[in-house]
Amino acid sequence: AYRYWFEEAKALGPSNLTAVKERLYEFYSLVKASGLDEFKKAVETFQNWQKEILNSFAFNLHNGYVEGINNQTKVIKRNAFGYRRFDRFRLRVLLHHQYKNINGRVA
């Protein structure tokens, strides 16, 4: 039921957000009728983030780009345990992300 709702929400997108919301409420009803505690917890999470979830279908915005930068920075951090000075680590991260025009000098 969730996959069906998700695929339909992607297809309808911003054109019919009311129908997406109605189908989401139908999914909530199915979960409550199922009696599975795990899905009830998932529905609580959905209800807490419902506005943001529906906005993701309406505006097709996501934070994937920023999450990618965060992931690359964490990989650099894991590989750079030998840096003793933060300014050199910072410059390495900025260089990797191609911010070469930032004024930074290592003394």
pLDDT of residue 47: 92
pLDDT of residue 55: 86
- For 81, the token pair is 């345990």
Confidence tier at 91 by pLDDT (50, 70, 90): confident
CB 44 within 8 A of CB 18: no
pLDDT digits (tens, 9 = 90+) for 33-72: 988 888 888 889 999 999 988 888 888 777 888 888 889 8
CA atoms 42, 64, 75, 83: torsion sign: negative
